[in-house]
Structure 1
Amino acid sequence: MSIINDSQKIQILSDLVSINSVNGNEKEVAIYLSNLFKKYGIESKLIEVIPGRSNLIASIGHGKPVLGYAVHLDVVDIVDKSKWNSDPFTLTVKQGKLYGRGSVDMKSGVAAMAISLIELNANNCIQNGTLEFLATIGEEVGEPGSQYFYENGYMDNVDALVIGELSGYQVVHAHKGSMDMRLTSIGKTAHSSMPELGYNAIDPLIDLISNANRTFRSYNKSDAILGSFTFNTTIFNSGTQVNSIPENAIAEINARTIPEFDNLMVEDNMNTLIAKVNSMGANIKLDTYMSLKSINVTPSSSLAKLAQKVGKKYTGNNIPTSSIAPVTDASNLLRGKTDNFPFIAFGPGNETVHQINEYVEKEMYFNFIDIYQDIAKEYLS
């Protein structure tokens, strides 16, 4: 029996999109979900991870096995509001599409999993085991929320995990890792007419980046499932005025890692390159401020097969297994788990993720509400 009708499903997603949770305002989303769960008789708990930023956890049923439904509460920036065809923080319905920032990544997944929890509880569907709802902060920047859940034992009793990421109608079992590195070059300032009195912090940093590009790209490492290792400098800052030798320069680098060239290998290579340039007079330091490993678990787990079966019921088509390039909270939530751990990322989505005029198809959003209920009912039967 349906507890939440179609207009209410749209309203819940609209409420979530209206909360501007760009990289740090997740607590308001967590409070909204907590109140929504309370309205339908489900207890939840807000867990402050960073001052003003809270994870949320709720569960229904009891005992083993424990099936985890995981979501993240933050969204990426809108960049330029003037380029949107509608207010990015107002859910706009047009020709069967629901427009708004986070409508794909991943507030439709949040809403679908939350509604499924409410419906399952109201209809007393979970008779054998526990369905646990895990909502995290900061997935888009650093993943502190999922790191907290891992480090504080919240994943210890979880036997299988579904992340409601934007897979569309494919079951994702693998993704690349991600590293964020900051290089800081220290020099000495001087007037540009007398550069011999200073040390230009830019020069050795440019040399290092050039050598790093050449070194990492020459390896040409690739994985049959995940694709190629990538290495890119994405931020470079230095100097305060044009006629002064800069005393510092900072570059930030993102690497997307694979098992054949993992995070440790990247850091070891970077340290070797830094040692070489420092031996010639530079003073460059490395800060690896995010390091998330690649994920590649079995695509043939009972959970993956169940999701394929359930998905086909709603689409009429075979549901493939696949990998994605972006990193997810699975990098933290699966730490310590084996490659046979039943994990999938499966949620409403399309190619408009992080883009202007992001949207989710209304039919897909509605379908995933039912898909999540069917998966939980069968997995916990």
Structure 2
Amino acid sequence: MEKAEKITILKDLIAIPTVNGQEEKIADYIQKLFTKYNISSEKVLFSENRANLVAEIGNGNGKVLGLSGHMDVVDPGNLEEWNYPPFDPTIEDDKLYGRGSTDMKSGLAAMVIAMIELIEEKSTLNGTLKLLASVGEEIGELGAEQLTKKGYIDNLDALIVGEPTNLALVYTHKGSIDYTITSHGKAAHSSMPELGINAINNMVVCINAINSKMTEISKLYSDPETGQVTHNITIINGGVQVNSIPDKTVIQGNIRTIPAYGNERVRKDIQTIVDQLNQQKNFKLKLTFDYDKLPVKSNKNSFLVQIIQKVHHEKYSEDLPLEGIAATTDVAEYIKADKPFDFIILGPGEGTLAHQFNEYVEIQNFLDVIDMYKKIAQEYLNS
């Protein structure tokens, strides 16, 4: 495939505004592209206008290597902050600007093109190379959850996730928990507070208790690659009028967990605080967990990592760094599959540009990763 066509494919993907939806348009685009090269693919419908895409090449024998990329992007935010329209991909100084250029349509495009070029070059693959293009990664790994439950992950021996890593090998990342707590009180006139129950005051007690517990945990537990457990209250709503005692307050918080102190322990800690406060007079708190993604950690000396290092070392005579990140990925759902597998997160672009204004990917980086994916697939499946 010519360089210009590769860039056009990436630009076409960026131009489709898949802000937490409309991913079926990208699934259709890739499926149509694959059809030209006789690559079989299957759409897995999630909801209206949303569909995952699964495709395979290879001889069906031997190992199965997965390539994972998500099709959705986050909202571009204030358009005045962009130098170029976020869904009108623009090239300047060998950088391609647009929402999703880094996170992670360049990674997805690189995987798609790598598969096509392996077919074009009539490469022998003694195994299966499997693309998993997912919906809703940015709002809860929705597509990854669906594909896992439907068994599309169960035959994987290894997986590469194309999130932007600036050519580092990410083998571990934090988990993520979102929770909501509602404090119910009793309304009264502010001149007679004794007749009411102040839902805000009770929530403040709860917030202080949770913050204290999370601070204690962060001091006691850490991971050399991903750091400490972190906790933040990110949304708070309460009260309707300045001279009325509030009868309801709602908070939402986010916790980033680590392998050394996982989700189950954190959920138990929060639940215990809420249960203990509800035993006190006038406290009526309700806790729900809205989002629960596991921390993940793979073997940094796995056969997959060895193959990737070999491929990179042959060209550059150096190894890629092994790192951990705080953000979560589709792996948090995929690891719930019936069969354990090795994984690595490796893709074009810099993670620090994700979700930012004027997001971009360096074109040469994008092109280099295409070649890297091809060589990794050949080495891994044929070794």
Q: Give the TM-score, by structure 1 length.
A: 0.94
Confirm or deny: 8 A CA contact 1:138 1:145 kept in the other structure.
yes
Q: 1:244, 1:27 → 2: CA distance?
A: 48
Residue 38 of structure 1 aligns with which residue?
A: 35
8 A Cα contact 1:26 1:73, kept in partner: yes
Measured against aligned partners, the alpha-carbon deviations of 1:63-99 in whole angstroms (never above 9, x if no partner) come to: 3311100111111111211111111111111111111
DSSP 3-state at the match of 1:106: helix
- AA aligned to 1:122 is E
Q: CA deviation at 1:226?
A: 1.9
Q: Whole-Å Cα distance in 2 between the matches of residues 312 and 99 of structure 1?
A: 30
Report if aligned partners of 2:156, 2:339 keep a CA contact under 8 Å in 1: no
Q: Deviations over 1:75-126 (max 9, x none)?
A: 1111211111111111111111111111011000010000111111222214
Structure with the largest fraction of helix: 2
Superposed, 1:170-319 pairs within 5 Å as 170-219=168-217, 220=219, 221-280=221-280, 281-315=282-316, 317-319=318-320
Provide, for residues 268-308 of structure 1, a one-character-per-residue CA deviation record: whole Å limited to 9, x for no partner: 11111101221122111111111111111110111111112
Superposition pairs for residues 131-142 of structure 1, below 5 Å? 131-142=129-140
1:36-115 equivalence runs, <5 A = 36-61=33-58, 62-115=60-113
Moved more, 122-131 or 260-269: 122-131
Name whichever of 280-289 and 240-249 sits farther off.
240-249
Write the deviation string for residues 197-223 of structure 1: whole angstroms up to 9, x where unpaired: 432222211211111111111221211
C-alpha distance in structure 2 between counterparts of 1:147 and 1:203, whole Å: 38
Q: For residues 177 and 15 of structure 2, what CA distance do their matches in structure 1 show?
A: 31
Q: What's the counterpart of residue 144 of structure 2?
A: 146
* Inter-partner Cα distance in structure 1 for 2:8 and 2:368: 16
Q: How many residues are paired up?
A: 377
Unaligned runs of 5+ in 1: none
Q: How far apart in 2 are the matches of 1:100 and 1:312?
A: 31
Query: 1:334-373 counterparts in 2 under 5 A?
Result: 334-336=335-337, 341-350=341-350, 351-373=352-374
Among candidates 16, 26, 29, match of residue 26 of structure 2: 29
C-alpha separation in 2, matches of 1:125 and 1:197: 78
Could you tell me whether the CA contact under 8 Å between 1:169 and 1:311 is conserved in 2? Answer: no
The range that moved more, 207-216 or 328-337, is 328-337
**Comparing 277-286 and 197-206, the one that deviates more:** 197-206
Identity %: 42
Alpha-carbon contact 1:60-1:126 (below 8 Å) kept: no
Aligned counterparts of 1:27 and 1:206: Cα–Cα separation in 2: 44
Give per-residue Cα distances to partners, 1:131-151, cap 9 Å, x unaligned: 110011111111111111111
- Please, which runs of 5 or more residues in structure 2 have no aligned partner? none
State the SS of the aligned residue for 2:139.
coil
- In 2, distance between residues paired with 1:41 and 1:179? 42
Instruction: Tell whether 2:345 aligns with 1:323.
Output: no
The alpha-carbon distance between structure 1 residues 295 and 194, as it changes in their structure 2 partners (threshold 3 A), is same
Match of 1:12 in 2: 9
1:171 and 1:308 in contact (8 A); partners too: no
Whole-angstrom CA distance in 2 between matches of 1:50 and 1:198: 45
Distance 1:312 1:95 in 2: 28
Structure 2 SS opposite 1:30: helix
User: In the aligned structure 2, how far is the partner of 1:46 from the partner of 1:283?
Assistant: 46
> What CA distance in whole angstroms lies between the structure 1 residues aligned with 2:115 and 2:238?
50
Across the aligned residues of Structure 1 and Structure 2, the Cα RMSD in angstroms comes to 1.7
- The offset of 1:322, in angstroms, is 1.3
- Tell me if 1:165 matches 2:166: no
Q: CA deviation at 1:191?
A: 3.6
Deviation at 1:314, TM superposition (A): 4.8
Q: Residue 30 and residue 309 in structure 1: after superposition, are their counterparts in 2 closer, same or farther (change >3 A)?
A: same
108-117 or 286-295: bigger deviation: 286-295
Distance in 1, Cα, partners of 2:79 & 2:168: 31
Q: Deviations over 1:176-201 (max 9, x none)?
A: 11111111222233343443343222
State how far apart, in whole Å, the 2-side matches of 1:252 and 1:312 are. Answer: 46
- Tell me, what secondary structure is at the counterpart of 1:287? strand
TM-score by length of 2: 0.94
Is the partner of 2:96 in helix, strand or coil?
A: strand
CA shift, 1:309, in A, is: 2.2
Change over 3 Å in CA distance of 1:154–1:99 after alignment to 2: same
CA gap of 1:141–1:22, structure 2 versus 1, over 3 A, is: same
